[in-house]
Amino acid sequence: MTALKNWGISLEEIPLEGLKVEFSELTDLGEEIKVAEPFTGFFYLKKLGIDVEVIGYLKGSIILDCDRCLSTYIFKIEKKWSIELKPIKTLNLEEEKELKEDEMEVNFYENNWISFLDLLKEEIYLSIPYKKLCKEDCKGICPICGTNLNEVECECKVTKKETPFAVLKELFQNLKKGG
């Protein structure tokens, strides 16, 4: 589905009463997003002067790499969101402060064109957690032999990582001894 790149709408095409666009079975969202379960959902677009309010819903899943054990896992996404789109030419006119105070998420469109693919990708990126873990208590890989410790325990003796607090405490005690 290479046509997705051109999947979008021009401003003139959005009727005054608003427009609902439904989508389903989206599997190809570009190279950066590996889709596991195809995405379904909808956009609801409404013009507010030169701005466009978008309310969206999406559901699907993607494949991520665990930061700790490096194996791939399936990450489910289901979310509703809303965003206000402004023409990019107003970007310089708007006070930056004003943008920050605005409670609604704001993004920009260019050349009177709204790309549905970009909207969708943006929301998927925003869903991906900062720390990607295949499961909350992922044991990671052994730094010595590289075994995935979720699958099997290895024989290597790894000294327990000190917490920053324990390290500080030790340092403090040594200082006291020294003084």
Q: Which of 144, 166, 167, 168 binds Zn ion (CB under 5 A)?
A: 144
The distance of closest approach from Cβ of residue 158 to Zn ion in the complex, given in angstroms and rounded to an integer, is 7
Q: 148 pairs with which residues across the strands? A: 141
| Subset of residues 78 to 117 that bind Zn ion, contact rule: CB under 5 A | none
- Report the alpha-carbon distance of residue 125 to residue 83 in Å, rounded: 15
Contact by Cβ (8 Å): 64, 124: no
Q: Closer to Zn ion at the Cβ: 20 or 135?
A: 135
Q: Closer to Zn ion at the Cβ: 126 or 144?
A: 144
- Nearest to residue 109, comparing CAs of 84, 80, 126? 84
Q: Closer to Zn ion at the Cβ: 115 or 147?
A: 147
Q: 142 pairs with which residues across the strands? A: none
Question: Residue 141 interacts with Zn ion (CB under 5 A)?
Answer: no
Contact by Cβ (8 Å): 1, 117: no
- Report the alpha-carbon distance of residue 78 to residue 148 in Å, rounded: 29
Structure tokens at 129: 């957690």
Q: Which of 26, 52, 58, 66 binds Zn ion (CB under 5 A)?
A: 66
Question: Residue 74 interacts with Zn ion (CB under 5 A)?
Answer: no
Question: Residue 154 interacts with Zn ion (CB under 5 A)?
Answer: yes
The distance of closest approach from Cβ of residue 72 to Zn ion in the complex, given in angstroms and rounded to an integer, is 9
Q: Which of 58, 69, 85, 114 binds Zn ion (CB under 5 A)?
A: 69
Contact by Cβ (8 Å): 61, 76: yes
Question: Residue 64 interacts with Zn ion (CB under 5 A)?
Answer: no
The distance of closest approach from Cβ of residue 166 to Zn ion in the complex, given in angstroms and rounded to an integer, is 23
Binding site for Zn ion (CB under 5 A): 66, 68-69, 134, 138, 142, 144-145, 147, 154, 156
